Amino acid sequence: MPIKILIIDDSALVRTILTEIIQAQPDMEVVGTAPDPLIAREKIKALNPDVLTLDVEMPKMDGLVFLEKLMRLRPMPVIMVSSLTERSSSVTLHALEMGAFDFITKPKMDIRNSLNEYADELVNKIRAAARRGCRPMKTGQNVLRAVEAKKEAGPAGSPARWFSTTEKIVAVGASTGGTEALKEFLTALPPDCPGVLVTQHMPPTFTGTFARRLDTLCEISVKEAEQGERVLPGHAYIAPGDRHLLLGKSGANYVVELSDAAPCNRHRPSVDVLFRSVAKNAGGNAAGVIMTGMGSDGADGLLEMRQAGGRTFAQDEESCVVFGMPKEAISRGGVDEVVPLHDIARRLMLWLSAQGKRAFRI
């Protein structure tokens, strides 16, 4: 049976473009469209779709309000369709916390010039959503309470171990499902961990909002990466949505480098670009983590990190929204440990603690 999709968007043009893309797929069928959530509610009951595409900003009922009701009363896979505004990016990230499967940006008015690339992204996310099903609702408040409880609890009861934070670096790559995975990983890191460089496949305007959101939840500082800044312990740097993030060196210090080079594996920022720069400039002083995501970006770069002496981790299949990127990295021989999402930070810190002589909590 084909995957049944209901398109919810107040723009007739967007509904038409999405319908044309989906209807061209032999394994998909648009069973209906709706210009607002109130009409969509009735069509969901009548048509029983497998996947929804949901506009972030709509009349009559806000997309978040509709999503909250949907996840409470009739949970199902939802792909948010978002414009490239700061408000939309904030709403979209909130939607992912509430259980939306993933998001895609609204098609541009000149979409005909890049229709194939946009179509591939859309239909692949729909297929992944149909396979994976609905994700449980999460809230930033739950994470915030966990962070506050960890701060109040103080250092763990086991003795502190020691490592040299100034010589270590952590590189992380993620794609589909990565926003929530990164949140769980980064909130588990102690404030004296090594510097962390993160490439998450995400469009411009989203990465700044994403970094600021994480910064309010984490014990470490999180920010969007800037050219030439020093990579400091206790800080995470998120790749800007339209630039490659690389690790550079200035004397004995690690620094951020940003590049406008062509996309790699159809992505900019690319995980492979980050991992390769870390393999080159940090070698055995680095750890690499590849998380949930579609495709193979990062698999070759993680192998280069391992060959350069770094320690490499992959998120396991059970905890991934999409197992594509970790699976490829594992199959190519680039992974030392396959770890559930909830345990990646702990395993990483245990490895780092054995490498040097500076204290940190584990």
Task: Give the HSE-up count for residue 22: Cα atoms under 13 Å, Cβ half-sphere.
Answer: 25
Q: What CA–CA distance (Å, rounded) separates 219 from 289? A: 19
Contacts of 26 (CB under 8 A, 6+ apart): 2
Omega prior to 269 cis, within 30 of 0? yes
266: left (phi over 0), alpha (psi -120 to 50) or beta: left
Q: What CA–CA distance (Å, rounded) separates 225 from 228? A: 9
Q: Please name the residue ranges forming H helices in 282-340.
A: 299-307, 324-331
Helix, strand, coil % over all residues of the chain, rounded to 5: 40, 20, 35
Question: C-alpha dihedral over 139, 179, 184, 269, to 10 degrees?
Answer: -160
Residue 113's CB is within 10 A of a number of other CB atoms, namely 9
Q: Which residues are registered as beta bridge partners of 8?
A: 34, 54
Contact present, 95 and 56 (Cβ < 8 Å)? yes
User: Which residues are marked as active site?
Assistant: 175, 201, 297
Task: Give the HSE-up count for residue 49: Cα atoms under 13 Å, Cβ half-sphere.
Answer: 28
Amino acid 240 reads P
Reference 176, options 35, 94, 297; nearest CA is 297
